[in-house]
Amino acid sequence: MSSIAPQRAAPSPSVEAKPYRAAHALLDALRAEGVRFIFGYPGGAIMPVYDALVDHPIRHILVRHEQAAALAANGYARFTGEVGVCMATSGPGATNLITGIADAYLDSVPMVAITGQVATFLMGTDAFQEVDTFGLTLPVVKHSFIVREAEALPAIVHEAFRIARSGRPGPVLVDLPKDVANRPIFAKPSHPVPDPPLPECNPCALERARHLLARAARPVLYTGYGVFLARAERALRAFVEATRIPTVSTLKGLGGLPTDHPCFLGMLGMHGSRAANQAVQEADLLICVGARFDDRATGKLDGFAPKARVIHIDGDPGEISKLRYAEVALCGDLSRILDALSLRPVPPEWGRRVEALKASDRPRYDAPGRFIYAPALIRRLYERLPEDAVVTCDVGQHQMWVAQHGVHRSIRQHLTSGGLGTMGFGLPAAIGVKLADPERTVVCVTGDGSFMMNVQELATLRRYGIAVKILLLDNAALGMVRQWQELFHDRRYSEVDLSDNPDFAALARVFGLWAARLESRDQIDALLQEWLRSEGPALLHVPIDPKANVWPLVPPNKANHEQLMET
């Protein structure tokens, strides 16, 4: 499939070389940090940096909306573990980045966002495309910089990267006024700043944790995204293999322990498995590893794991005992802590009880009706994907079906928006992943509502020949909102009807993608195969039952064991 290479003007040999400016120093500092891609969109205030990009080896990816730049940087960072970089101009360019910045903040994703700003002598005058980007982003970044001295820019960049990736990762803003970016500067060596060491775990706390583990009759391991942030998947799996402790996971922690592992009970929480939620409710010891007792995981907090004492293991001391008191707090390197804990196998009677819970909670995929059954389709998809495939997911019912019925082998292979719940996350995030690893199969599972949030990024796929495969589940509605209106608002449906959706396959073809429509169950195997094997980016449009709901569901202000089940 042909793709459009970004056009860069060759400098004329007759033109005198331009002086080394702050904009060049910015890019050189980014390169020193190992940056390969900048996701962005140009404009007036950031133009000096785009001028410097013409002659620079860092590759810029032109998205079609600044929000997509931040979400693509998010996907890149979450897959690689490196800092993602996005860039936009002042005013609307910066404000369009904010949703993606907030998403990174709530999901602890390392990111540096670079925004142009009006010249320093115009700041505060309501100049064209001037907004207070520093003030607007303050609640959703780890730190913000306004660059006022050109010579300070390289050091600011390196400090921004250190802050973004150290401790609990998150986004950092660098706001660069246009006149500062244009200033000539003396080229100085540019060096990254080393990350501070992790705190040492308290040996007395470790001994107390060993004591609780030795006495526990019904332990449960509760894992989250912090396992990935700490690069502790190996240690977690070794710990489970040695202890056989039943394990549950948050949405973003899925894959820390492979979901087909015998000790894995499923996702817990609002749409978690009955086995996972019930085991937590019966536990007498909860070992929380890299999770934060989020409301979507715990349900009614004072009814969560009511019989359990808590060991909380995390790299961020601010999370420990923030929502649930921990009898033992273990803060530091998660791998070293897990390796240091005693490895007593679970009592046999608890193992038998958990096996019974899991056996009684196996999903069925033989739903009647003429519509394609989304959980069965998701399961069939995962059976056909390579084991190292990455699935990015948007927000809504399809997000929960992927979490419940997908086979997740690593946290970085299942990417979705957790804390902010950003519709439109899936496609830009998939772009970031596919650019990071072009040989890997990358699938975006989306819904009709979420897809339209960033549909313009089909043009980005086409321009760069990014072979993302899009599975679009279309229920002609804002499905999750419709489900809640059905269950908790007396079926008073309000603004959830999307029955005037376009022909998505035809729309994708207009953008130059391979596209097909999957309408009957006997087409599933053939079309999945054709779609996955197609050259370049491709979209498979799948109409599903507009009345289909996600089960189970914990109602608002209820404990997790009070789940509603499909009737």
| Active-site position among 47, 129, 519, 562 | 129
Maximum CA extent, the chain: 83
Q: Is the distance from CB of 346 to CB of 246 less than 8 angstroms?
A: yes
Annotated catalytic residue: which of 178, 358, 434, 469?
Answer: 178
d(CA 459, CA 226): 34
Residue 67 known to be catalytic:
no
Residue with tokens 């980016």: 537
Tokens 């056996």 sit on residue: 359
Can 485 be counted among the known catalytic residues?
no
Q: How far apart are CA 239 and CA 340, in angstroms?
A: 10
Please give the distance of CA 235 from its chain centroid, rounded to a whole number: 22
Cα separation of the two ends of the chain? 48
| 129 belongs to the catalytic site | yes
Q: How far apart are CA 434 and CA 536, in angstroms?
A: 11
Tell me, what DSSP letter sits at residue 445? E
DSSP element (H, E) containing 73: helix 66-80
Among residues 33, 37, 39, 66, which one is catalytic?
Answer: 66
Residue 334, burial from CB neighbour count under 10 angstroms (0-12, 13-18, 19+): buried
Query: 254 has which bridge partners?
Result: none
Distance of CA 252 to the CA centre of its chain: 7
* CA distances in angstroms from 266 to 361, 467, 499, 519, 554, listed in the order given: 10, 31, 34, 30, 15
Q: Which of 87, 270, 453, 480 is catalytic?
A: 480
In sign, the C-alpha dihedral spanning 493, 499, 500, 506 is positive
Residue pair 319/253 in contact by the 8 Å Cβ criterion = no
CA distance 402 to 397: 9
Sequence letter at residue 128 = F
Name the active-site residue from 128, 188, 200, 566: 128
**496 neighbors 482 (Cβ within 8 angstroms):** yes
- 70 in Cβ contact with 99 (< 8 Å): yes
Kindly tell me the burial class for residue 55, based on how many C-beta atoms sit within 10 Å of its own C-beta (0-12, 13-18, 19 or more): middle
Measuring CA to CA, which residue among 93, 102, 85 is closest to residue 130?
93
Active site residue 504: no
Alpha helices by DSSP H, listed for 142-187, are 153-165, 178-182
For residue 468, give every residue at least 6 positions away whose Cβ sits within 8 Å of its Cβ, in sequence order, or none. 427, 430, 431, 434, 442, 443, 444, 461, 537
- The 37-40 sheet, strands edge to edge: 59-62, 37-40, 84-88, 111-117, 171-177, 143-146
Return d(Cα 442, Cα 467) in angstroms, integer. Answer: 8
For residue 357, what are the CA distances in angstroms to 7, 299, 305, 346?
59, 20, 16, 16
The verdict on whether 188 is a catalytic residue reads: no
**Residue 196: how many CB atoms within 10 A of its CB?**
9
Active-site annotation, residues: 66, 128-129, 178, 480
